[in-house]
């Protein structure tokens, strides 16, 4: 038997669509790890060292797995640059600030009648450019100073995982595409109406916003010395038709992905909700450029058929399974995905764990992959 591979080698093989020693396993835990380690969400949210301590505790308790979650706090919540999830631009309620210390951060998209961005703001973007519209209106000086401290800390923790532990990091920084980003500011319903009512104008706004977001993402990625960027996309069949996707979103996702790849980054394509009717389009993403995270709403077995020689697949286990499920159900689900998608490599099992996920169910996912997933 060949000597066991390091996690870096294994993940590289999967991304290159070659067959390694076994199927990959990389749960996305965020605050699951903090609770497991006896910390509150507030303890870890503003403190990369604490967050890493919690993650490492969970990583070891589960006997290790294939990716480390390091930069997600900066990438997802505390991103100082206009970004899909940045607390400085959107209406977030944070634990220890608006919320009790052990709750998850809460992104309020705002109601239809009270959006963060009005229709007039589109004109501002068109006339004066993307950056003109933004200011750090929600961030205090102390917040920005905190980001300055977190950036080098995050970079140091990343190096520890890659160099010392030989484990690749999962998300170091984020890249937003304009549809998701504008939907957050306008509210999804408003945004959909805007697109139907003023398609040409919206295409122009999307175009300008896309370039702005790419530039912003690349500068943050450079600051934290990122290797992997998360590129989230919500434009699936749960939102609009393949035709609308093709016109209003696909060109911008491709532009963002190609820019990231050209700058040397790997991508986590974070494609939530139902992509089953639209998988063919994803063949246009740069091949072997990262991994495609699909949640349980997409048929991953079909994705393997369509994209098996194009992109590594990732995810697909339902988060609520780990709060309400049984060990048998978890095992059955993991085996179903492995049976349908493991052939020839290009598969990393994962789930987005919630703070209330149960240890024994998470462990079942990890151990089943490690044993049943051997090639």
Partner 1 sequence: MSNMQLLTDYMVNLEEKAALDEVKRLLASGEKARDILDALTKGMNVIGEKYAAGEYFLAELVMGAEIFKEAMDLLEPAMLAQGAPERKVCGKMVIGTVQGDLHDIGKNIFVALARNAGFAVTDLGIDVPPAKFVEQVQKDGADILGMSGIMTMSLDPMAKTVKLLQETGLRDKVKVIIGGLPVDERWRQLVGADAASDDAYKGLKIIQAFMGVK
Q: How far is the CB of 316 from ligand B12 (least distance, A)?
A: 11
The interface region with ligand B12, picked from 103-111, 155-163, 199-207, 365-373 by CB under 6 A, is 103-111
* Residue 111 is a binding residue for partner 1 (CB under 8 A): yes
List beta partners, residue 291. Answer: 268, 312
Q: According to the binding rule CB under 8 A, does residue 97 interact with partner 1?
A: no
Of 3-62, binders to partner 1 (CB under 8 A) are none
- Residue 324 sits in the site that holds partner 1 (CB under 8 A): yes
Task: Give the three-class secondary structure for 22.
Answer: strand
Helix orientation angle between 250-262 and 199-223, rounded to the nearest 10 degrees: 20
Between 12 and 188, CB nearer to partner 1? 188
Q: How far apart are CA 361 and CA 82, in angstroms?
A: 37
Cα-Cα-Cα-Cα dihedral sign, residues 348, 349, 351, 355: negative
Shortest gap between Cβ of 253 and partner 1 (angstroms)?
Answer: 17
Q: Which is nearer to ligand B12, 4 or 238 (CB)?
A: 238
Angle between helix 327-341 and helix 300-307 axes, rounded to 10 deg: 20
HEC string for 72-89 = HHHHHHCCCCCCCCCCCC
Nearer to ligand B12, 98 or 238 (CB): 238
Sheet of 24-25, strand order: 24-25, 347-351, 312-317, 290-294, 266-271, 228-233, 173-175
- Site residues for partner 1, window 174-193 (CB under 8 A)? 188-189, 192-193
Backbone Cα Rg of the chain: 20
Q: Does 354 bind ligand B12 (CB under 6 A)?
A: yes
CB of 275 to ligand B12, least distance (A): 11
Contact 255/213 with Cβ under 8 angstroms? no
Type and span of the H or E element at 251: helix 250-262
Q: Which does 241 bind (CB under 5 to 8 A by kind): ligand B12, partner 1, none?
A: partner 1
- Residue with Cβ nearer ligand B12 (259 or 313): 313
| DSSP letter string, 30-46 | THHHHHHTT--HHHHHT
Using CA atoms of 194, 196, 198, 201 in order, give the dihedral in degrees to the nearest 10.
80
Q: Does 246 bind partner 1 (CB under 8 A)?
A: no
User: Of the two residues 108 and 135, which places its CB atom closer to partner 1 in the complex?
Assistant: 108
* Binding stretches for ligand B12 (CB under 6 A): 104, 106-107, 109, 188, 234, 238, 272-273, 295, 297, 319-320, 352, 354
* Binding stretches for partner 1 (CB under 8 A): 106-109, 111, 188-189, 192-193, 195-197, 237-241, 244, 277, 297, 318-320, 323-324, 354, 356
């Amino acid at each position: 038997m060949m000597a066991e591979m390091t996690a870096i080698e294994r993940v590289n093989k999967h991304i290159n669509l070659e067959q390694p020693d076994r199927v990959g396993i990389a749960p996305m835990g965020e605050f699951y790890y903090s609770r497991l380690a006896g910390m509150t969400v507030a303890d870890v949210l503003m403190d990369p060292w604490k967050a890493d301590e919690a993650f490492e505790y969970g990583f070891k308790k589960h006997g290790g797995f294939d990716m480390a979650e390091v930069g997600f706090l900066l990438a997802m919540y505390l991103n100082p640059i206009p970004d899909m999830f940045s607390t400085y631009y959107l209406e977030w309620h944070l634990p220890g600030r608006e919320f009790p210390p052990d709750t998850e951060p809460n992104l309020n998209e705002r109601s239809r009648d009270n959006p963060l961005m009005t229709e007039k703001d589109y004109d501002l973007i068109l006339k004066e450019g993307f950056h003109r519209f933004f200011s750090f209106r929600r961030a205090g000086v102390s917040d920005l100073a905190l980001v300055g401290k977190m950036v080098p800390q995050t970079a140091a923790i990343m190096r520890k995982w890659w160099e010392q532990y030989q484990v690749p990091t999962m998300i170091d920084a984020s890249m937003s595409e304009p549809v998701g980003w504008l939907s957050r500011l306008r509210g999804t319903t408003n945004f959909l109406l805007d697109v139907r009512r003023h398609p040409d104008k919206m295409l122009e706004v999307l175009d300008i916003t896309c370039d702005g977001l790419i530039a912003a993402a690349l500068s943050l990625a450079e600051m934290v010395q990122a290797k992997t960027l998360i590129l989230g996309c919500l434009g699936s069949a749960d939102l609009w038709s393949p035709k609308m996707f093709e016109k209003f979103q696909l060109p911008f996702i491709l532009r963002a992905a190609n820019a990231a790849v050209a700058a040397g980054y790997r991508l986590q394509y974070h494609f939530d909700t139902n992509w089953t009717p639209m998988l063919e389009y994803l063949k246009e993403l740069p091949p072997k450029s990262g991994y495609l995270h699909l949640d349980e709403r997409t048929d991953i077995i079909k994705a393997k058929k369509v994209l098996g020689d194009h992109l590594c697949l990732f995810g697909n286990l339902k988060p609520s399974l780990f709060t309400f499920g049984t060990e048998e159900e978890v095992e059955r689900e993991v085996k179903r995905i492995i049976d349908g998608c493991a052939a020839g490599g290009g598969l990393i099992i994962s789930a987005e764990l919630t703070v209330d996920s149960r240890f024994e169910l998470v462990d079942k996912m990890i151990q089943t992959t490690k044993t049943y997933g051997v090639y």
